[in-house]
Structure formats: structure tokens, C-alpha cells
């Protein structure tokens, strides 16, 4: 668990939580998702105030459909890449095991509710991922699979109609729309709360830009992992000291 985060000792200690590859994946997902939301809802609600200025311009509306499909392809390509990254690299497999839900997550959720209701003095302490982050990641995988499958069925409507009746297309459209609402609200309410609005984090969590957490962030958010890293670090320092002294003799 603890080797997913590396201690970096310069002027001040930092904790390297995200690799450059993971940050590029995150921002590719963020950009494609935001464009999918804008272009998708522009189709569904063409008379809303933010779409009206462009809905009369035919080429812009055609461009909307093209951008939705291009971003859909990027979103799916990223999904395939991320699956290969998680299954095919050592770091990815370590992350899968850190994401695995367990009984501690249930206990943490219970304790967090009790803490927020003033019924417990201490909030729960987390390892590499908190139960909220695990739930968010699993929801992302589930949502991406639904949006990918339904999006492809809508994109290749004629092929879908060769195998299914017309009502299936109607159903798939409804599923795509409501999952789009769910995903958008989950990002705006849930994700943006944790990385921006949360009073402990405000004005913003910069770890997806720099890849790093400060000593304070690491201790406040992931105390159990921080503790394990300190223990490993002092063991390594002790081993290095013994090695140096043995060489001197």
C-alpha cells in the first residue's frame, strides 16, 4: 500500500501520489467529460438559455454532434487504456488492491456519520484511498461502462436496429440521458466538493497538477498511509546508517 506514495525530501517534504501518466489520464478524462456534458445536454435542451444563441446556427449544431462523437471515442479509448494500465502495470495492480472495498470501509463510513453528527470525537483515519474515493472510482467505472455501451448503440443506430426493436433505442436513449444527469451531478456535487469546496481543502487540491501532497495534507487525509511511510522511512534510514558504519570498520 505505502509504496504507491513516495516521500520526496527537498526544502520541505512532499509526498508523490500521482505519476505523470495518471495525471494525463485524469485531465484527458476531465476535458472529454466536460465536452460530452456540454454537447450532450445542448442536444437534449436546445431551447435553454445557454444553447439558444447557437441552436439557430445549423453548422454549429452539426459540429456539436461531431464533437460529442469525437469526445465519446476519446472517452472510450481512455477507458480501454486505463483498463490495460491498471491490469498490465505493477503500479496499476497495486492501485486495484488499494481500491478493493473491505469491512474497514463500512466501519469508516459509520464512524464518519457518527463524527459528523457529533456522536464521535474522532473522524476515521484512512490508508491510500478513503471509502469515499473507492466509492467514487467504482461509480466512475460503472457509469463509464453504461455511457460507453449506450453511446455506441445510439451512434450506430442502424446496427442496433438490426438486432433489436425500436423500443430498445428509446430505452437506451433514456438510460443514456439519466446516467448523464447522474454522472454530471456526481462530479459537480460529490467530486467538486472533495477537491474544491471542502473547507479542509479550499481553495483547491492541487495534487492532480503537481502530483504531490504536502506533509499536512498527507497527515490530515491519509493518516494511516502517512504513519506507514514514516515507519518505513526510519527503518530505511537505520539500515543505511548501519551499512555506513559497517563500511567504515
Bridge partners, residue 14, by sequence = 8, 214
For ligand HEM, give the closer residue by CB, 180 or 229.
Answer: 180
d(CA 243, CA 249): 10
d(CA 77, CA 73): 6
For ligand HEM, give the closer residue by CB, 151 or 211.
Answer: 151
d(CA 134, CA 147): 20
User: 207 to each of 15, 157, 212, 213, how far by Cα in Å?
Assistant: 10, 41, 5, 6
* Least distance in angstroms from the C-beta of 69 to ligand HEM: 6
* Least distance in angstroms from the C-beta of 55 to ligand HEM: 14
For ligand HEM, give the closer residue by CB, 64 or 134.
Answer: 64
Residue 173 DSSP label = H
d(CA 137, CA 131): 10
SS3 state at 139: helix
* Least distance in angstroms from the C-beta of 134 to ligand HEM: 20
* Least distance in angstroms from the C-beta of 161 to ligand HEM: 14
- Angle, nearest 10°, between helix axes 131-155 and 58-88? 130
**8 A C-beta contact, residue 173 and residue 151:** no
For ligand HEM, give the closer residue by CB, 76 or 139.
Answer: 76
Interface contacts to ligand HEM, rule CB under 6 A? 33, 36-37, 40-41, 43-44, 65, 68, 72, 75-76, 147-148, 151-152, 154-155, 173, 176-177, 180, 183-184
Q: How far is CA 46 from the centre of its chain?
A: 30
The grid coordinates of residue 194 equal: 472533495
For ligand HEM, give the closer residue by CB, 75 or 129.
Answer: 75
For ligand HEM, give the closer residue by CB, 65 or 101.
Answer: 65
* Least distance in angstroms from the C-beta of 174 to ligand HEM: 7
* Least distance in angstroms from the C-beta of 115 to ligand HEM: 33
Amino acid at each position: 500500500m505505502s509504496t504507491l506514495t513516495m516521500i520526496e525530501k527537498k526544502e520541505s517534504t512532499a509526498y508523490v501520489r500521482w505519476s505523470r501518466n495518471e495525471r494525463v489520464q485524469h485531465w484527458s478524462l476531465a476535458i472529454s467529460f466536460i465536452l460530452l456534458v456540454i454537447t450532450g445536454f445542448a442536444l437534449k435542451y436546445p431551447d435553454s438559455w445557454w444553447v439558444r444563441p447557437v441552436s439557430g446556427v445549423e453548422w454549429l449544431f452539426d459540429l456539436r454532434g461531431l464533437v460529442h462523437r469525437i469526445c465519446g471515442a476519446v472517452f472510450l479509448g481512455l477507458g480501454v487504456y486505463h483498463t490495460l494500465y491498471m491490469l498490465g502495470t505493477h503500479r496499476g495492480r497495486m492501485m486495484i488492491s488499494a481500491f478493493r472495498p473491505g469491512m474497514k470501509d463500512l466501519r469508516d463510513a459509520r464512524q464518519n456519520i457518527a463524527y459528523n453528527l457529533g456522536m464521535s470525537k474522532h473522524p476515521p483515519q484512512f490508508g491510500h484511498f478513503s471509502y469515499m474515493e473507492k466509492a467514487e472510482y467504482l461509480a466512475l467505472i460503472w457509469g463509464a461502462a453504461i455511457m460507453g455501451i449506450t453511446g455506441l448503440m445510439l451512434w450506430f443506430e442502424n446496427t442496433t436496429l438490426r438486432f433489436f426493436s425500436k423500443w430498445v433505442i428509446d430505452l437506451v436513449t433514456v438510460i443514456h440521458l439519466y446516467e448523464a444527469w447522474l454522472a454530471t451531478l456526481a462530479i459537480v456535487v460529490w467530486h467538486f466538493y472533495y477537491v474544491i469546496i471542502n473547507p479542509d481543502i479550499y481553495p483547491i487540491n492541487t495534487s492532480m497538477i503537481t502530483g504531490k501532497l504536502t506533509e499536512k495534507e498527507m497527515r490530515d487525509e491519509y493518516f494511516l498511509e502517512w504513519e506507514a511511510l514514516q515507519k518505513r522511512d526510519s527503518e530505511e534510514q537505520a539500515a543505511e546508517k548501519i551499512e555506513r558504519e559497517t563500511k567504515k570498520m
